[in-house]
């Protein structure tokens, strides 16, 4: 399942309940690219018996997020989607295994463009079922580091303290 192999673990996945619910399996991670897979389930089908477009979108969005955010980041920034276009090309159905391959196409300053291709079927005989183009923006965060956010506190324990250098606020960024 999500991050099942330690070599493919990404700190973002520790709290990614949507990707866990989808059953996302991380196959490859690298600088600006990610490959994930999942098997389509009955509850992902719409009233026409084909995969709901929102499921395909969410799956592609998970690949996009993994490609945008380095697994070895220090938590001082996060890269989020600023816009997306998706084209659904062919239907997919319950039981099919789908794969998403995300690739950075361009990165300038804090903005980037990523393409995600979604395939259905076995690697030797797969069809492109959707194309997703994501526009990204890297923002500074004052949040707790991702790994620390995944821990839970017992009611009797003192709050955990984690110090982290923070970047400028979004207001300060807009003034640059």
Confidence band of 89 (pLDDT split at 50, 70, 90): very high
* Tokens found for residue 151: 């821990």
Q: Give the whole-angstrom CA distance, residue 50 versus residue 176.
A: 47
**pLDDT cut 90: percent of the chain above it:** 65
Q: Which of 108, 170, 115, 113 is nearest to 139 (CA)?
A: 170
The ranges assigned to domains in the chain are: 6-145
* Tokens found for residue 170: 């979004």
- The pLDDT value recorded for residue 75 is 82
pLDDT digits (tens, 9 = 90+) for 24-74: 999 999 999 999 999 999 999 999 999 999 999 999 999 999 999 988 888
Give the pLDDT mean for 105-122: 96
**Residue 175 pLDDT exceeds 60:** no
Q: Give the whole-angstrom CA distance, residue 84 versus residue 28.
A: 22
Whether the predicted model's global pTM rises above the 0.85 cut: no
Q: Which of 138, 127, 29, 48 is nearest to 94 (CA)?
A: 48
Q: What are phi and psi of 98, to 5 degrees?
A: -115, 155
pLDDT digits (tens, 9 = 90+) for 100-110: 999 999 999 99
The CATH T-level fold of domain 6-145 is: Thiol Ester Dehydrase; Chain A (3.10.129)
Q: Which helix (H) or strand (E) holds 147?
A: helix 146-149
DSSP secondary structure, 31-42, as one string: TTEEEEEEE--G
- Three-state DSSP state, 156: coil
């Amino acid at each position: 399942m999500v991050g099942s192999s330690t070599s493919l673990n990404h700190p973002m996945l520790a709290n990614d309940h949507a990707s866990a619910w989808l059953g996302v399996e991380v196959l490859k991670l690298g600088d600006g690219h990610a490959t994930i897979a999942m098997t389509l389930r009955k509850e992902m089908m719409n009233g026409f018996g084909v995969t709901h477009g929102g499921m395909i979108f969410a799956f592609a969005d998970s690949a996009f997020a993994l490609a945008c955010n380095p697994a070895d980041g220090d938590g001082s920034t996060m890269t989020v989607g600023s816009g997306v276009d998706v084209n659904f090309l062919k239907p997919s159905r319950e039981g099919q295994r789908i794969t998403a391959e995300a690739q950075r196409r361009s990165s300038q300053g804090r903005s980037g463009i990523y393409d995600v291709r979604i395939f259905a079927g076995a690697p030797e005989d797969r069809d492109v079922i959707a194309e997703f183009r994501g526009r990204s923006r890297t923002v500074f965060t004052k949040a707790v580091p991702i790994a620390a956010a995944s821990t839970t506190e017992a009611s009797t324990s003192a709050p955990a303290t984690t110090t982290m250098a923070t970047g400028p606020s979004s207001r300060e960024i807009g003034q640059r």
